[in-house]
């Protein structure tokens, strides 16, 4: 995972979240709704974040944007109160750092990498999927009207959360969904798979995604990607796209150039090109949801 997955950009000036944190089966969950809900019908949207998690102001504002477009948005704490450690460093990195500064910076980079690796080891599908299943079971009942209006649950995922939108959009064995076995581990003979938990999905610059995650998807899927992204490799994306094409699955893949991994997550950038791409990515994902 990169810095954009674990560190928020500056929050857009003058914006404050409009939703609230509540609990579903003891899982902190940010809920935000259209201003006229429940007097007007809405659809239910599951939003899965990057490493900054449910308490990030930027993630909450991102959820609010979808709510303003007619979705009851459910954003669960998939990390169980253990959001990713920040990747920022206090070591100055000027144009000509001294040898000592270079060593310090190198040591800080190694330490950050180790810390993130340890954090990722605590948040595997075996840990995350049961959290998501508990929340989904609860919100399907709490917002049954929105589920019915949309004929199912929609989902968007950014960075870390993108992988789990793919998993929720696939048929999983019961023990995988329950966190008793890793998705890639061999299943017991005769074990039956359960259908996907979502109706439609959209992901942006995913991390920890293998081609098997894209190959397993069985619901319409939109993919926002970054060219030459070291965290979502081009060949993985291309092989996944071929797999979706081969089984006739509705999909859309758009590759954005000249932007960093994490660009689609709400936050201020000085570069106008990135700002525009962020708007385009949101529009792409929103149009995909509304079209399905």
Helices and strands (H and E) in the chain: how many: 10, 10
Bridge partner residues of 46 (DSSP): 74, 155
Q: Do 181 and 221 share a structural domain? A: yes
Q: Domain check: are 169 and 273 in the same one?
A: yes
CATH number of domain containing 264: 3.40.50.1820
Same structural domain, 113 and 128: no
In this prediction, residue 102 carries a pLDDT of 45
User: Tokens 């590759």 — which residue?
Assistant: 255
User: Of 169 and 123, which is predicted with more confidence?
Assistant: 169
Same domain for 179 and 266, yes or no, is yes
Q: Are strands 27-32 and 71-76 parallel, antiparallel or unpaired?
A: antiparallel
Q: Are residues 115 and 140 in the same domain?
A: no
| Residues 245/251, Cβ–Cβ less than 8 Å | yes
Number of Cβ atoms within 10 Å of the Cβ of 31: 19
CB 252 within 8 A of CB 222: yes
> Are 242 and 194 found together in one domain?
yes
Domain C-terminal end among 100, 122, 144 = 122
173 and 67 belong to one structural domain = yes
> What CA–CA distance (Å, rounded) separates 161 from 79?
10
The most distant pair of C-alpha atoms in the chain lies apart, rounded to whole Å, by 64
Starting at the earlier edge strand, list the strands of the sheet with 200-204.
20-24, 27-32, 71-76, 43-48, 153-158, 200-204, 221-226, 251-256
- Find, among 217, 132, 219, 125, the residue nearest to 176 by Cα: 125
| 212-256 pLDDT per residue, tens | 999 999 999 999 999 999 999 999 999 999 999 999 999 999 999
The tens digit of pLDDT for each residue in 113-145 reads: 657 788 888 889 999 999 999 999 999 999 999
Which pair of tokens denotes residue 281?
Answer: 């990515």
Cβ 215 vs Cβ 168: under 8 Å: no
- How many whole angstroms separate alpha carbon 139 and alpha carbon 277? 32
Residues 185, 106, single domain; the answer is no
pLDDT at res. 151: 97
Three-point CA angle 128, 134, 140, nearest 5°: 130
Dist. CA 75–CA 157, nearest whole Å: 10
pLDDT greater at residue 148 or residue 11:
148
Say if CB 62 and CB 47 are below 8 A apart. Answer: yes
| Domain containing residue 236 | 3-82+124-290
CA separation for the pair 56, 62 (Å, rounded): 10
Which tens digit of pLDDT belongs to each residue from 56-109? 999 999 999 999 999 999 999 999 998 888 743 333 334 455 555 544 434 444
Question: Are both 198 and 241 inside the same structural domain?
Answer: yes
Residues 108 and 195 in one domain: no
End-to-end, the C-alpha distance of the chain in Å comes to 30
Mean pLDDT for all residues in the chain: 89
Token pair listed for 115:
């810390």
Phi, psi (deg, nearest 5) at residue 212? -65, -25
- Full-model pTM: 0.89
Measured CA to CA, the distance from residue 164 to residue 177 in angstroms comes to 11
Residues 77 and 99 in one domain: no
Residue 123 CB partners (closer than 8 Å, separation 6+): 78, 79, 82, 160
Q: Number of structural domains, the chain?
A: 2
Looking at the structure, tell me whether residues 151 and 65 fall in a common domain: yes
């Amino acid at each position: 995972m990169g810095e954009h997955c674990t560190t928020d950009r500056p929050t857009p000036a003058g914006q404050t979240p409009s939703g609230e944190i509540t609990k579903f089966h003891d899982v902190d969950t940010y809920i935000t709704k259209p201003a006229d809900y429940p007097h007007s019908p809405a659809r239910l949207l599951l939003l899965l974040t990057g490493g900054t998690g449910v308490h990030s102001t930027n993630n909450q504002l991102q959820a609010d944007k979808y709510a303003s477009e007619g979705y009851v948005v459910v954003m669960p704490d998939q990390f169980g109160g253990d959001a990713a450690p920040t990747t920022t460093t206090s070591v100055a990195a000027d144009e000509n750092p001294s040898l000592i500064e270079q060593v310090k910076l190198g040591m800080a980079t190694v330490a950050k990498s180790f810390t993130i690796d340890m954090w990722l080891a605590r948040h595997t599908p075996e840990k995350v999927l049961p959290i998501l299943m508990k929340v989904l079971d609860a919100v399907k009942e709490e917002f049954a009207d929105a589920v019915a209006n949309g004929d199912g649950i929609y989902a968007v995922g950014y960075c870390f959360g993108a992988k789990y939108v793919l998993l929720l959009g696939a048929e999983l064995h019961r023990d995988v969904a329950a966190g008793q076995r890793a998705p890639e581990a061999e299943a017991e003979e005769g074990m039956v798979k359960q259908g996907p938990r979502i109706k439609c999905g959209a992901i942006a610059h995913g991390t920890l995604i293998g081609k098997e995650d894209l190959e397993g998807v069985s619901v319409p899927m939109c993919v926002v990607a970054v060219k030459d992204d070291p965290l979502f490799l081009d060949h993985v994306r291309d092989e996944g796209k071929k797999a979706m094409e081969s089984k006739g699955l509705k999909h859309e893949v758009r590759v954005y150039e000249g932007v960093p991994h994490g660009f689609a997550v709400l936050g201020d950038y000085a570069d106008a090109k990135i700002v525009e791409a962020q708007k385009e990515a949101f529009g792409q994902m929103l149009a995909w949801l509304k079209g399905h």
